[in-house]
Structure 1
Amino acid sequence: MSTKGFIIYLLSSFSVALLSALLLPRTSNYKHYSSISPPSHDYGFGNDKLWPELKVGWRVALATVIGFLGSAFGTVGGVGGGGIFVPMLTLIVGFDTKSAAALSKCMIMGASTASVWYNLRVPHPTKEVPIIDYDLALLFQPMLMLGITVGVVLSVVFPYWLITVLIIILFIGSSSRSFFKGTQMWREETLLKKEMARQRATLVNFRGELLIDTEYEQLFPKEEKSSMQIFCFNLKWKRILILMFVWVSFLLLQVIKNDVKICSVWYWVLFCLQFPIALLVFGYEAVKLYKGHKERVSTGNPESICEASIEWTVLHILFCALCGILGGTVGGLLGSGGGFILGPLLIEIGVIPQVASATATFVMMFSSSLSVVEFYLLKRFPIPYALYLTAVSVLAGFWGQYFVRKLMVILKRASIIVFILSGVIFASALTMGVVGIDKSIKMIQHHEFMGFLDFCSSQ
């Protein structure tokens, strides 16, 4: 599937799904099931909290195994794993949908934080730059967090079946595209390994003499850095402080908004204040990338200030903004950190897999932690389960990165990350699809309303 074909597939499929929902009549008398990822106010699939007791048993054991594997592979692929955690917590452990989404955020936060900690101690594989691309993080993080707030609103308005259909369409298309990119990278790596093997087998010196299996040492060997030196080099405090500013600003607005009457004037004022904050930081980074690109073109300098290989034109910058909001919206609907869009997108625009994974998990750490703090203030999850599952995810995030990095060194194939990303997204499409279809069938059997809802009257 080419990039153009992927975009056409998404636009046509989404249009058909939305038009189908619009054809359904609207009514104010309904009983509505919640979305997959509930917003910060109480509504949806029942108001009763289902919080099973944390005790040793097959349910907790199975959830631990699935949570560990989901966190390990999810953080390596840069997608988090929310599409696996939510069904696991509802179907296996027995949590209600809202509590499962909140606990899912805790697991994503734990895994992404451990992954970031590991990546900060890893050098860039090809350049003398941090492995986390802070330029791309600053470009996508504010739009991603803005998209999450939009997704929360849409999760109230959109019917449950429509959310399920959109997620299946997006995840199947995204996993297929990522798998296609992975196979391309695998073939390129195979050709590169064959070429390097051929060069090592036959080398010719300056006198034309054939040398076989000859190894040369560099005249000036590359200086090896310690873990602490790499850690300090990977940290860019100025960029991190800007990201923290966005994080704190969104958190304050969300906390204040939770105490304001829904759909009041102040509620919408606080909601709209998120837009200038996100656009300010996005605009700052977009202008920097645009000016840097124009300067490189005028001077003929091929070096890019960020990992992405695209030209930073106005159209491409707007496209990245749209993708950031789309990723956040999916995160708001699903209960994930938005990595299901950001991870594949970074690969698509030319970022190497190691940097794409590190950057996506870095951004997810901010978006997921924001939701966790808000859910904690709203008492949306049981503390014992949250601490236990977060600890499992922290271990999984660290060891997942460790083993996959070692495997990449042994096989000399970075495409492994892309295949893992594709696999996690496809697994999420299956789990979310099965759960969503099952609940949608039950809604039809109970003659539930299947059209768009009014946001204010649904609270």
Structure 2
Amino acid sequence: MGLSTLAFLRGVASWKKETKLKREAALPSCGGTYPGGPITCTQRNAKVCILENVYWKQFGLIYFVWVASLALQITKNYYTTCSTLYWVVNLLQIPVCFGVSLFEAFGLYKGWRKISSNNDSTSKLRAWQLIILCIFGIVAGTVGALLGLGGGFIMGPLFLELGVPPEVSTATSTFIMVFSSSIAVVQYYLLKRFPVPYGVCLTVVATFAAFVGQHAVRKVIAVLGRASLIIFTLAFIILISTISLGGIGISNMIKKIEHHENMGFESLCNYNA
């Protein structure tokens, strides 16, 4: 609820700023104004090769974490659950993720790594800001793993607070979710625990819905010239997800308590990973 409110307030602020920019801007916005100013037709229509638009070093770091985490997740299944080697292999994921996060945080702190999309190429993040970012990242991963919610619900509003435009924020959080979810898909498939027809059906439906949603939002933004609509959409989705997930969870918990059913809390060592 707090994240939803935070995103909504950020949307209101962006809406007011867009209104001011639309009144003051002499150049056509071509369907969007951002905190750094209006987007001109020349800027919006400029096209480059997709290979030139990829930050290969950063992509390589993410891919390294993906491969290392997947390898460790698969390797631990070859050891007895809760054995010494099992926990050693399992906990090796921490230094891998911590090392890459520390490297990126050091670059943001020193200034040779920039958040270029917030239109402030000279800014440096302070130590306390980096610590908060890492904490939110851990919370996002934990919530995503325990509740099945995408980490974008947490990272999206956080990116907005950093001054990242809503389109970039949504795309970034969604892109990162691909890596976390794909690790689980590959792992369960190799362990023969993944229902392929069910997964294919969900993939087709989700892909179709993503293209339709993206096309619809782009059209609406082009007509109204307000990218803040993405922020309001994010706030609404977070609100609905919180209410539905929380309501269903509380309802199921009450029923289990009334019928003295197992709440699902068992020893981690009773099951294989």
TM over 0.5: yes
Q: Work out which of the residue numbers 47, 53, 63 in structure 2 matches 1:234.
A: 53
Aligned to 2:15: 186
Q: Cα deviations across residues 354-403 of structure 1 (Å, max 9, x unaligned)? A: 11111111111111111111222233342112111101111222232222
Matched, 1:253 2:84: no
Matched, 1:195 2:35: no
Residues 160, 169 of structure 2: 8 Å contact kept: yes
Equivalent-residue separation in structure 1 for 2:44 and 2:195 (angstroms): 49
| TM-score, scaled relative to structure 1 | 0.52
CA 1:246–1:223: 2 relative to 1, 3 Å: closer
Residues 175, 422 of structure 1: 8 Å contact kept: yes
Equivalent-residue separation in structure 1 for 2:264 and 2:248 (angstroms): 19
Q: Which amino acid aligns with 2:134?
A: A
Matched, 1:330 2:143: yes
Q: Work out which of the residue numbers 128, 137, 142 in structure 2 matches 1:315.
A: 128
Equivalent-residue separation in structure 1 for 2:115 and 2:254 (angstroms): 50
Aligned to 1:409: 222
Matched, 1:177 2:6: yes
Q: Cα deviations across residues 275-306 of structure 1 (Å, max 9, x unaligned)? A: 1111111111111111117x9xxxxxxxx553
Q: Work out which of the residue numbers 143, 149, 153 in structure 2 matches 1:340.
A: 153
Q: Cα deviations across residues 251-297 of structure 1 (Å, max 9, x unaligned)? A: 0100111232221101110121011111111111111111117x9xx
CA 1:265–1:242: 2 relative to 1, 3 Å: same
Aligned to 2:37: none
Aligned to 1:262: 81
Residues 152, 174 of structure 2: 8 Å contact kept: yes
Residues 109, 127 of structure 2: 8 Å contact kept: yes
Residues 337, 367 of structure 1: 8 Å contact kept: no
Aligned to 1:435: 248
CA 1:337–1:261: 2 relative to 1, 3 Å: farther
Equivalent-residue separation in structure 1 for 2:75 and 2:154 (angstroms): 29
CA 1:188–1:223: 2 relative to 1, 3 Å: closer
Equivalent-residue separation in structure 2 for 1:399 and 1:234 (angstroms): 24
Q: Which amino acid aligns with 1:274?
A: Q
Equivalent-residue separation in structure 1 for 2:64 and 2:14 (angstroms): 37
Q: Work out which of the residue numbers 163, 179, 193 in structure 2 matches 1:350.
A: 163
Q: How many residues align?
A: 256
Two-structure CA RMSD over aligned residues (Å): 2.6
Q: Cα deviations across residues 17-75 of structure 1 (Å, max 9, x unaligned)? A: xxxxxxxxxxxxxxxxxxxxxxxxxxxxxxxxxxxxxxxxxxxxxxxxxxxxxxxxxxx
Aligned to 1:152: none
Equivalent-residue separation in structure 1 for 2:264 and 2:197 (angstroms): 38
Q: How far apart are 1:451 and its partner, in Å?
A: 10
Higher relative contact order (CA 8 A, sep 6+): 1
Q: Which amino acid aligns with 1:307?
A: S
Residues 292, 305 of structure 1: 8 Å contact kept: no
Structure showing greater radius of gyration is 1
Could you tell me the percent identity over the aligned residues? 44
Aligned to 1:373: 186
Gaps of 5+ in 1: 1-171, 201-217, 296-303
Gaps of 5+ in 2: 28-39
Q: How far apart are 1:315 and its partner, in Å?
A: 1.2
Residues 336, 368 of structure 1: 8 Å contact kept: no
Tell me, what secondary structure is at the counterpart of 2:82?
coil
Matched, 1:287 2:106: yes
Q: How far apart are 1:178 and its partner, in Å?
A: 0.8
Structural mapping, 1:92-111, within 5 Å:
none
Tell me, what secondary structure is at the counterpart of 1:307?
helix
Deviates more, 1:176-185 or 1:393-402: 393-402
Structural mapping, 1:185-224, within 5 Å:
185-196=14-25
Aligned to 1:306: 116
Equivalent-residue separation in structure 1 for 2:44 and 2:222 (angstroms): 19
Aligned to 1:456: 269
Equivalent-residue separation in structure 1 for 2:252 and 2:79 (angstroms): 32
Residues 185, 194 of structure 2: 8 Å contact kept: no
CA 1:385–1:223: 2 relative to 1, 3 Å: closer
Equivalent-residue separation in structure 1 for 2:98 and 2:20 (angstroms): 43
